[in-house]
Structure 1
Amino acid sequence: MKYLVSAAGGNTTAIQLIENSQTREWYSSNGNELVNKYDNFEVEQSGFLIPKDLHFEMAGGEFCGNASRAAAVVFSLLKKESIVDFTVSGFNGIVHSTVNKYSDNEYNVESMFNGMNILSKEVKLSNDTQAFLVDLGGIVHIVIEGELPSNYKEVHNEVTSELDLLRKSAVGVVWYTKIENKPVKIHPIIWVNEVNTFYYETSCGSASIAVAAVTGINEIEQVTGELILTEISKEFVSLKSKIKVLYIE
């Protein structure tokens, strides 16, 4: 079976159920095929769910907060339970998720990533731009305050090379703006190494974590205009937003 699931109004993930774990080459090849097959749904990423192993694997082996919560919905539907625990690629801990249905095919989903370690440090780029490098393990984000530049792909390539991040599983460059008493607005540009995809993502859970870590603000407005709520503590990191099942095949 295959599911297409969006998070906070965007960042649609194609999820395919498989019986057994596969090689990384298989995941990347078949993951690209999945994305291409559902191009009309504006799919931005893909992954594979292995019910018997309680595991979800991204096509590129990276960590993805939104896809993890999309997988939580699928696990919840399969198990007919509102609380599900499972593992995901790019993260060594257990994902503890609560899935509450509120209308047809729509859910409020909160996932807690227990033991997630966030490494953050300030960096100065070659053009004197101040930024933060936030390493979540399965993805690294460079967080920059300011408007999204028109040449964002060029900037992403330059920053990734300059900071020697070309071997990472996935790299995001995230621009954010903030207005007093309003949520932070983000513009996440995400490259995934193994599948060589590059997207201006319509919403992004891991980028929301990174920006929350930098700003201390937990309400993160996505490109879609919808919110992802974050919580960061010593014990866990959590993401919460609306998740919608768009299509089942």
Structure 2
Amino acid sequence: MKLKYIKANPSGNTTVFITSPVPRHLYPSIASIIMKPEYLAAEQVGYIEPSLKITEGVHLEMMAGEFCGNASRCFAAWQVMKKGGTTNNDNIISLNIDVSGTKNILPASVKMTNDAYTYDVNVEMPLPQKILLGKDLELGEYGIVDFNGIVHLVLWNIKPDVKYIELAYRILSDIGISDDAIGLMFLNTQSLSMSMTPLVYIKNLKSLIWENSCGSGSSAVAAILSIKSRKNITQALLQPGGILTVNAVWDDDMNQIRKIYLSGRINFTSEGTLYIPSEDDLPR
């Protein structure tokens, strides 16, 4: 198979979009190849499809149908790069995007920079379905943020380790939360700048990745901080690949989070053709 692609770098969370038509049942197996070092060494893969929600628009379907904040920002920037749009006085283009893992159309704003392939992008994130706080003897204090498409556990000031994946699944199972994609967000509040190390596991791909940054995980941190403080939160989170900024808007009258925004810089690094094995030779 010959597939057209474009690759983006949102704070190190390298993302590949396949722009050629591909049957959905092949998404996971093709993604597993693209993520290999000998191909594009991407952290995640999404597929561009026609939108069923936006007239003459496009939809982003991630490799396991999950929601991804960084991919959503890349998707907004890709549409602006391909189609352009009318900027306001601040050189910003506003648009709505249709992405997997949420039923909502998400508002986004894309700010042009002096580099034709680099953008500053802000996306309004879907609100969590559940936010829970808890304690565990091994994990200590934790927060659970359940987005429709991925569940994140925010863990405070413990050394990042893959051994916590199994424990995380047990905790989620005990409270009746099940999702193919989960993230462990190791939050360090003891450093001068608040920092986070993201670990994401997608069960049906058997994909365990120490991501360089995580958009939905950053939003989960903002949600937990806002719930704990009962106030607006604006927080820059230093991650291995760079900085993402999150903003949670607290509503005193409703006693809940009203909006969450994710922002940061994106640059597109390559575009071309992939040569993928035929369907019969793809991994099962």
For normalisation by structure 1, the TM-score amounts to 0.87
The Cα of 1:71 is off from its aligned counterpart by: 1.0
2:239 to 205, 219, 222: 222
The Cα of 1:118 is off from its aligned counterpart by: 4.7
- Give the 3-state SS of the residue equivalent to 1:168 in structure 2: coil
Deviation beyond 6 Å, 4+ runs, structure 1: none
Determine the C-alpha separation between the residues in 1 that align with 2:184 and 2:26: 28
Determine the C-alpha separation between the residues in 2 that align with 1:84 and 1:19: 24
Residues 207, 62 of structure 1: alpha-carbon distance in 2 compared, 3 angstrom cutoff: same
1:89 aligns with 2:100: yes
Determine the C-alpha separation between the residues in 2 that align with 1:79 and 1:34: 26
Q: Which residue of 2 aligns with 1:59?
A: 63
The Cα of 1:208 is off from its aligned counterpart by: 0.5
Residues 242, 214 of structure 1: alpha-carbon distance in 2 compared, 3 angstrom cutoff: same
User: Can you list the C-alpha shifts for 1:97-138, whole angstroms capped at 9, x where unaligned?
Assistant: 11122132211011113x523521112235362211111121
Residues 212, 65 of structure 1: alpha-carbon distance in 2 compared, 3 angstrom cutoff: same
1:108 to 120, 134, 138: 120
User: Can you list the C-alpha shifts for 1:223-244, whole angstroms capped at 9, x where unaligned?
Assistant: 22x3211122344321100001
Residues 153, 40 of structure 1: alpha-carbon distance in 2 compared, 3 angstrom cutoff: same
Q: Which residue of 2 aligns with 1:32?
A: 32
Q: Which residue of 1 aligns with 2:221?
A: 211
- List alignment gaps of at least 5 residues for structure 2: 51-55, 86-92, 227-232, 250-256, 273-284
2:146 to 135, 151, 155: 135
- List alignment gaps of at least 5 residues for structure 1: none
Q: Which residue of 2 aligns with 1:159?
A: 168
For normalisation by structure 2, the TM-score amounts to 0.77
- Identity, in percent, stands at 25
The question of whether the paired residues in 1 share the 8 Å contact of 2:140 and 2:156 is answered with no
Determine the C-alpha separation between the residues in 2 that align with 1:40 and 1:177: 33
Residues 39, 53 of structure 1: alpha-carbon distance in 2 compared, 3 angstrom cutoff: farther
The Cα of 1:87 is off from its aligned counterpart by: 1.1
1:248 to 271, 276, 281: 271
CA RMSD of superposed structures (Å): 2.3
- Amino acid of the structure 1 residue aligned with 2:75: A
The Cα of 1:163 is off from its aligned counterpart by: 2.5
The question of whether the paired residues in 1 share the 8 Å contact of 2:184 and 2:200 is answered with yes
Determine the C-alpha separation between the residues in 2 that align with 1:124 and 1:34: 38
